[in-house]
Structure 1
C-alpha cells in the first residue's frame, strides 16, 4: 500500500510491517499529508492482529527523514497564545497514536530535526555506518524543544545539548550515536533495513501480549518525566522562535537546505 507519501508493506509470514517515508527526492521531508497518513497508519495497526512488529525507514538511502517540509510548515495556522502551538509532527509517532506494538527504526543517510519524533518513539534504532544525526533548529533561529525532550530520554544530557546547540554544524556519526545510546546496532551502509527486519521478525515471533506489555512497561518508566517536559515545549517554541520570515532568510542564506556528506 502506498498513499500520501507513505508506503506500507506487510509480511504475513513474519508478522512484520515496514513503513517507508517515500519521498526520496525531498530527503523524505514530511508534508502535512504525510503526517496525517502516518497517524492513520499507526492507529490502523492497532486493529491488525497480523502485524506484530513494525519497521520504519526512509526511501532512497540518502536520508531517513529531514523533518517537516518547510513549505508545508508555513501553512499551519498558529494560536496567538504563547502557551499553545500546533506542531504538525507531534502526532506522527506510534506512541502518540496509542500503538504499543514494537517499532524498530532503520536509518540510512541523514536523520535530522523532525526525524527525532519518529526515532524517539521507536523501541530501538539500527543505522548504516554512513548515517548521520543532527538537529539544525538553532541554526535557523528555532527552539529545539520537542526534539530535545525526546532525545533526552535516549541519550546523555551533554550529548543531546551539544547536538541541539551546535545546530547544523554538528553531525553525529552512526558510531558516536551507538556509543551514546541512540543507536543499538550499526551495519554496513545499506544494511540497516535488513537488520531491522530480522530483529523485528524475532520480536514478532514471541507471544504478542507479552511483547506489548513489555513495551508499555518500558515507556511507563519514563512517561511522567517526558509528559512534564513536553508540557513546557509549546511556549518555549512560541517565545523563542524567530519570525518565519527571518527563519527563511537564515535557511536560504545557509544554503537553502541540508547538504549530504
Structure 2
C-alpha cells in the first residue's frame, strides 16, 4: 500500500520489499494517515508470499523518522483509564507480521521512531545516524519508547537516553557499541547494506525464517507484554497538559525541536 507519506517497492524476484517513510519535508514524521498506511502495509505483507523479507527506511538524508507529526491531532476518549496512541500499531509485530524486518537508519531517529525500530529484527545505520528521545524535555513520559528500547539496549543506556531528552544524541558508533545497531556503514550506505541482508534471508526457506523470528521474540515477549500494560497509566499520570507541551515544542517535523 503506497500513498502520500509512504512508499512501498517490491522486488518479487528477490522476495524483498522496501517500505519508505516519504515525508522528507517533515523529517519523516508520521501523521495519522501514514500511521494507518503502515499498519495496513504490514497486514498486507502477511498474505503476500512474494514478500519474504522487508527493509524499512526514511526518505532523504536527514532523518529515518522523527516520531509523530506535531500537527497530528488524535482524539482521545474521555476515560482516564484509556489513551489512544496513534503510533501503537505502526510496527510489524503489532500487526502480526513475523517475516523479518530490517531497519536502515539514515539520519535522525527519535521518539516515535522507536515504535518501528523496536519491532525490527535488527538495525543497520549510516555513520551520521543519531538516536534520542525528547519526551522528558517536553514534559511527556517516555513509556512505549523506553519499553521498546529496553528490549534492545542495556538498562543504563535506555535510562540515560530517555532522561537526558534532547540534551544528548546517541551516535551510530555508540549505538553499535551497545548492541542497538548491528552494522554501521558509510553515509548513504544503510539502505544497500540492509537490502543485502534482506536478500540473503529472503533466499532461505520461509518457514524456517519466520519460525526463527517468532522464537527470538518469544524469548522476551512476556516481559514486554507486562511492561506495555503499564504504559497508558504512566503517560496519563506524568504528561504535562497539552497546552503546556505546545509551548515547549518546535513545530517543524516530529516530536523534537531541530537544533
TM-score normalised according to structure 1 size? 0.96
Q: Runs of at least 4 residues of structure 1 off by over 3 A?
A: none
Structure-2 residue corresponding to 1:97: 95
Structure-2 residue corresponding to 1:136: 134
Q: Deviations over 1:199-219 (max 9, x none)?
A: 000000000000000000011
Q: 2:173 aligns with which of 172, 175, 192?
A: 175
Length, aligned pairs only: 258
Quick check: 78-87 or 155-164, which moved more?
Answer: 78-87
User: 2: CA distance between counterparts of 1:80 and 1:158?
Assistant: 36
Gaps of 5+ in 2: none
Structure-2 residue corresponding to 1:18: 18
Q: CA deviation at 1:257?
A: 4.6
**What SS class does the counterpart of residue 18 from structure 1 fall into?**
strand
User: 2: CA distance between counterparts of 1:214 and 1:31?
Assistant: 33
Decide whether aligned partners of structure 1 residues 252 and 10 sit closer, same or farther in structure 2, where only a CA change above 3 A counts: closer
Q: 1:83 aligns with which of 81, 84, 93?
A: 81
Structure-1 residue corresponding to 2:50: 50
User: 2: CA distance between counterparts of 1:149 and 1:252?
Assistant: 25
User: 1: CA distance between counterparts of 2:249 and 2:198?
Assistant: 38
Q: Deviations over 1:161-209 (max 9, x none)?
A: 0000000111000000001111000000000000000000000000000
- 1:259 aligned onto 2:253: no
Structure-1 residue corresponding to 2:232: 234
TM-score normalised according to structure 2 size? 0.97
**What SS class does the counterpart of residue 130 from structure 1 fall into?**
coil
Give the number of the structure with larger relative contact order, counting CA–CA contacts within 8 Å between residues 6 or more apart.
Answer: 2
Structure-1 residue corresponding to 2:157: 159
Q: CA deviation at 1:259?
A: 2.3
* Counterpart mapping for 1:28-43 below 5 A: 28-43=28-43
Gaps of 5+ in 1: none
User: 2: CA distance between counterparts of 1:147 and 1:81?
Assistant: 23
User: 1: CA distance between counterparts of 2:212 and 2:256?
Assistant: 39
Structure-1 residue corresponding to 2:195: 197
Q: 1:148 aligns with which of 135, 146, 149?
A: 146
User: 1: CA distance between counterparts of 2:132 and 2:151?
Assistant: 16
**What SS class does the counterpart of residue 60 from structure 1 fall into?**
coil
What RMSD in Å do the two structures reach over aligned CA positions? 1.6
Structure-1 residue corresponding to 2:4: 4
Q: CA deviation at 1:239?
A: 1.0
